[in-house]
Every structure is written in C-alpha cells, then in structure tokens.
Structure 1
Amino acid sequence: MTLKLLKRVMPYALLSTAVIATSAQAEDLPPAIQNLEQQGVEVIESFEAPGGLTGYVGEMRGRSLAFYLTPDGDHVIVGTMLDKDGNNLSEASIQELVVGPKFESAWPELEDSNWVRDGDKNADTVIYTFTDPNCPYCHRFRQQAAPWIDAGKVQLRHIMVGILKEDSLTKAATILGSEDPESAMQKHQTSFEQGGIEVDRKRVSAAHLEVKANNSLMQELGLQATPSTLYRGEDGKITMVQGLPNPQALERMMGPRP
C-alpha cells in the first residue's frame, strides 16, 4: 500500500479537531446549551443572531445544525431561521462557521485523492465532486455542467466512489484503473442509460483500493449523498453542495452560463 493510499484510509482525527473553535468551551456554555451537548451535539462556535438571540452552530452525527438561545438563557430553538425576505440565515451561518473552515482544511486532501479529470486541464475553475457510477443525479449533474466543460471554463474532478449498488465499486474501479480514465469516464457517461461502463476485472484489481480510499474520505467528511460537490467561490471561500444543484447554485459554482 502506498503512503498516499495509507493517508487516504486513515481517520481524519486532526481534521475533526481543527474545526472545533476553542471559544466554545463546555464549561462556559449556558446550561440549556450544555444539555444539547449531553444529547450528542458538538458545539463549534457562537454568534450574534437577530432578535436578541444568541446563535450557535455545531454538529451531530456528522450533520451540521444551527440553534438559538433565547434572551432569558433558559430556552433553545433548534432549526432554520429565515429573514423577512426568506433568506436562510441558519445555512449562511453554518457555511461560514462550520462548512467553510472544515472543507478549507480538507481541500488538500481532495487534491490528493483519487480523481478523474473531466475537462480542460487549464480551466480556470476546478470543482471536486464525489461521483458514484450508478448515481443518476451524478449523471444529470455532468449533463448540466456540459456547457461550461465544453467551453473550457470548468474542470470537474470526479472523486470516484462505490456506495450505491453492489457493482458501484467495480464500475468506479474500472474507470479509475483504466489507461485513460478520462475517456473511460466519457464512455460511461454516454452509455449510462444502458448500464454504463462494462466491468473489467483487471482494472478493478488495479484500482479497487483507491475507490475504497475515496469511500473513506467521503465518510470522514460527513458527506452522505452523491453528488457531493465542493468548489472555491469568487470570495475564495469553499462551499459544499450535496445533491443535484439548482440553476442558481450551478451558476454560483461555475460562473455565468457560456
């Protein structure tokens, strides 16, 4: 096993430690928030919220969440806060205080993972997406991205995983272990409706450990769906989108439609 592969399958203890803000010490938290901790919530950071509330962000079982302490300090509201225009303030806080720092630390791990390039190697925008070869939404995402890829503006880097079906891993390893993974990926995309790429046992043998390493990376990052896509926005911050992005998210990710 190579050093690179060994790094991929080891737990990311350092990553999980790095994203915990030292300002949110358990002994300094109000009793109502400490009660949430006892229920398994890991408090990461606090912030000033509208309406006299104190906001907190944290994680529970790998999922990010926001919750709000009332001014009397005795009650906690767990859920989504919207402003008068319908903007999701909770999601914005989670992105800024949890998701962004977490995936900023993980970005080098994405760069060093086992991925297949899809698009111009000199494209200005590089996007990482966890792709299962049996995922219909991954296939649709690639179709959505085609105008940007064909115009040379975006390079997708498919981090191949095998989690959805029994033959997901062998298909992913066939693509990743091919002499020309990019061509194999294109072949799979064009034949997706007919079942996709034909499994090649020789290629599976060469690359199945790399796919398993990608599976471990996805799990350790707390990602639970494919496609899970990460990109660096115009502000330099990393954003993560799980599932098929809507048209607005697609343009934020890739820029104006060519």
Structure 2
Amino acid sequence: MAFRIALLPAALASLHATTAIYADDWPAPIQALVEQGLEIHGEFAAPSGLTGYAASHQGREMTVYLTADGNHAIAGSLLDAEGNDVGEAALYERIRQPQEKMVWRQLEASHWIADGRDDAPRVLYTFTDPNCPYCRRFWEATRPWVEAGEVQLRHVLVGILQQDSPAKAASLLGAEDPAAALREHSNGEDVAPTAQPRDIEDQVYRNNQLFEELGFYATPTTVYYLDERLDRVAGMPEEERLREMMGSETP
C-alpha cells in the first residue's frame, strides 16, 4: 500500500468511511459493486473512453474502471505503455490525502507535551510511554534539532507498556509544568505515578485509543510530513532516518 503511514486495515476502513461518496445514481455496474460493500471516494478521467473510480473495500484501496458503454466495470490497476498505474494519483488525491489530513488533525487534537520552541519550522508527533527506554533514546538523539529551535516534538503520552505506565503518563500531563516534568523524566529522573484528576486520566485513555485506532504497536512511534506526504517511524530510528525525520543534517 502506498499510503506511507501504513495504517492497519481496521483503521483504514474507519477513515475510508468518512471520505466515501454515497449516491443512488451510479452506473449499474458501479452500483452493483457498491451494493456488495465497495465504497466510492471519487470519479476521475481515464484513457480509452474509460471512467475511473477511486474506491475501497474493508480498508483496501482499489481503482475501478467503467467501460465507455457503461455496461461493464473492471476492478484493478490500469497501466500505461511505460508501466505506470494511471489511477495512482487519483487514489492519493481522493483517498490518501484526505486520510493524512484527518490523521494530522487527530494528532493536533490529542493530548501532548511540547518539546521545543512553538515557532519551530518543523513539527513531529511522537507517541511516548514513560516506561519506554527507546523513547528516552529518541529524546536524547533529537536534542541538537530541538535545542537549535529547528524542531518541535509533540509527545503524545500513552500508557501501554507496564502496569504503572498510565499513571506515569497522567502525572506528566497533569504536572504544574508538563514540559519541565517531561524533560526531567527524559533526563533520568523517573516520574512517580501519582493520582490525577479524572480529566487528566481520560486524556491518557484517549491517547491510548488513538494509538490503537491508528494501528500503531510500538513506542516511540513518530508521525511527520516528508515531501508533503505523511510518514511514520516505529521505534528508534537509525541515524540516516533520524536526519530525514528532523529535516536536516545535525545542527
């Protein structure tokens, strides 16, 4: 699948449903596919008199082509003389791009702690569990870019690794100065799990839900834009990938 963030099928199915187009006047072959569970996300021009449709079924993207006489539909890829998939751009425009924007809005609306300047030109969201050793390594590795004001990391606190992870995540989110608390914790002063107001505990719960809904499975998982496309890295990245994520060589 070309969608870089590589969501799990269940998550994709949920997002696909929000971008699907519903109509009662599809051509008969397309309507037959819709009645079998296919979701149509948009129509696009195709060569040789065909009409293309960007579609999905249970989270799986596909293109469907209607013949010029309107009597038959062909599901699958259509290649040009150079082997290029003529429907690839339509799948991105009609399905993946709206998904990526929706994921970014969900991240913006999640509960996170900012690490770095608010006017940093580059923003990344990273899911962080307080008991995750690789999250601390990621914190350390990103210091040059964060301290240079080039990157702001937004730590979406989750509690998934150990029994006290949710309480520790809530302690960080509920601290008087969450950024300072996260900095101390990441520098080795382990945060203590303490009771927090219900709304703070709910923030951790909702972050956990988002983590699962997006099909993520490891911490840190970091989401960012690369070449105007949404990308993600699960775990601690290698040095070359880290520089790609940060958007530049080490300051």
Please give the TM-score of this superposition, normalised by the length of structure 1: 0.62
Helix, strand or coil for the counterpart of 1:201?
coil
- Does 2:203 align with 1:210? yes
Distance 2:148 2:85 in 1: 33
Contact kept in structure 2, 1:177 and 1:206, CA below 8 Å: no
- Does 2:124 align with 1:122? no
Please give the TM-score of this superposition, normalised by the length of structure 2: 0.64
- Does 2:247 align with 1:255? yes
After TM superposition, the structure 1 stretch with the greater mean CA deviation from structure 2, 66-75 or 45-54, is 45-54
Distance 2:165 2:57 in 1: 29
Contact kept in structure 1, 2:40 and 2:53, CA below 8 Å: no
Q: Pick one of 210, 234, 240 that aligns with 1:243.
A: 234
Determine what percentage of the aligned residue pairs are the same residue: 33
Contact kept in structure 2, 1:129 and 1:158, CA below 8 Å: yes
Q: CA RMSD in A?
A: 4.6
Give how far 1:148 is off: 1.8
Gaps of 5+ in 2: 1-13
Give how far 1:156 is off: 0.4
The equivalences for 1:160-239 within 5 A come to 160-191=157-188, 197-203=190-196, 207-218=200-211, 222-225=213-216, 226=218, 227-232=220-225, 237=228, 239=230
Distance 2:223 2:148 in 1: 20
The equivalences for 1:1-258 within 5 A come to 19-22=18-21, 25=23, 27-28=25-26, 31=29, 34-35=32-33, 38-39=36-37, 42-47=39-44, 54=52, 56-58=54-56, 60=58, 63=59, 65-69=60-64, 73=72, 75-77=74-76, 95-105=92-102, 107-135=104-132, 138-191=135-188, 197-203=190-196, 207-218=200-211, 222-225=213-216, 226=218, 227-232=220-225, 237=228, 239-241=230-232, 243-244=234-235, 250-258=242-250
Give how far 1:249 is off: 5.8
Determine which structure has the larger helix proportion and give its number.
Answer: 1
Contact kept in structure 2, 1:19 and 1:98, CA below 8 Å: no
Helix, strand or coil for the counterpart of 2:195?
helix
Q: Per-residue CA shift, 1:160-210, capped at 9, x if unaligned? A: 12234433312211221222322332343344xxxx834322347672122
Alignment CA distance shift 1:105-1:205 (3 Å): closer
Distance 1:32 1:247 in 2: 48
Number of matched residues? 229
Give how far 1:103 is off: 4.2
Alignment CA distance shift 1:92-1:206 (3 Å): same
Distance 2:31 2:137 in 1: 41
The one-letter code sitting in structure 2 at the alignment partner of 1:147 is: P
Distance 1:247 1:55 in 2: 41
Gaps of 5+ in 1: 1-14
